[in-house]
Amino acid sequence: MPPLVLSLFTPLLTIILPIFGLIFAGFAAARLRKLGPSASSELNRFVVYLALPALLFDIMAKTPWSMLDQPAFIAVFGIGSGVVFAATVFVRLRQSRHLADASIDGLNAAYPNTGFIGLPLCLLAFGQPSLAPAVIATIMTVCVLFAVAIVMIELGLQNERHIGATFGRVAKSLATNPLLVAPLAGALWSGAGMHVSGGAETFLKLLGGAASPGALVALGLFLGEKAGVRNGKTASALVALKLVAQPLLTWWLAFHVFALPPLWAKTAVILSALPTGTGPFMLAEFYRREAAVTSSAILISTLISLVTVTLCLAVML
């Protein structure tokens, strides 16, 4: 293994260890009964309604539209995650899984932790120039892929037989969903040439900074309440899709189909190889779907990624 990769393993461990620390903090609080039985759901609601919308608005408001003018990279990363997402949803529907649950499973297999792990890892591995593709990938993950899953979940949860009534209810739900409204408002804010500064910037930073820690502690609380990892077979299949299938597909697209510049191609592959982020768990809890598979997939993929991401770095560097 190249010395550079070995030198990156310790920082990678340093990046991932706090994730386990936050999950364990929630787990311990649940097992020791230091927080109430509804703590996981209530903390998750705080993340969904306050912290994550602030973070999404902040990201989009500070991203110039011109920065997103990278069609080849967007195609590579978008197709890589989109194909895995769609294939997972299709298979789970064939297995008689509800559309809402199948959509969350699709996220489990295709939703990389680009924000919490990807940005610092790319900075360590490839330097400052890699932050541009990392930010684009983060926006595509937490805004676009997330939005598609929310639309599908909303469609799956409607019981109306009349298609017009169904789409009307879905449209109403989407128009009031903070996870969709916030990034759209941020994009419009950026497009209008306005800036976030002063007290507003501090407010968004403080509130948005609680999103990832809050979601990870909520995940730990859920695991503590449910006595640890469950549905290991299904979770393992989703983890294999996330850590093996998605980066392999992205590698093929980046190097052999779209022929991205080396830095952008390597960054796309590394970002696609990251473990599952907390987004699927937040949606599972928010929509009151069974979250056992999701929590297990996040935990297992994060642990195994210490090996798989290190191997991916060895190939890329």
Give the total number of structural domains in the chain: 1
Structural domain harbouring 208 = 3-316
**C-alpha angle with apex 53: 52 to 54, nearest 5 degrees?**
90
Predicted confidence (pLDDT) at residue 265 exceeds the cutoff of 90: yes
Which amino acid type is present at position 212? S
36: helix, strand or coil: coil
The pTM is what? 0.84
**C-alpha angle with apex 62: 61 to 66, nearest 5 degrees?**
100
For residue 279, the domain's CATH number is 1.20.1530.20
The residues, any chain, with a CB within 8 Å of residue 231's CB and separated by 6 or more, are 292, 293, 296
pLDDT digits (tens, 9 = 90+) for 166-220: 667 667 777 777 878 888 888 899 888 888 888 888 999 999 888 888 888 888 8
pLDDT digits (tens, 9 = 90+) for 63-102: 888 877 899 999 999 999 999 999 999 999 999 899 999 9
Q: Residue 36 phi/psi, 5° resolution?
A: -70, 170
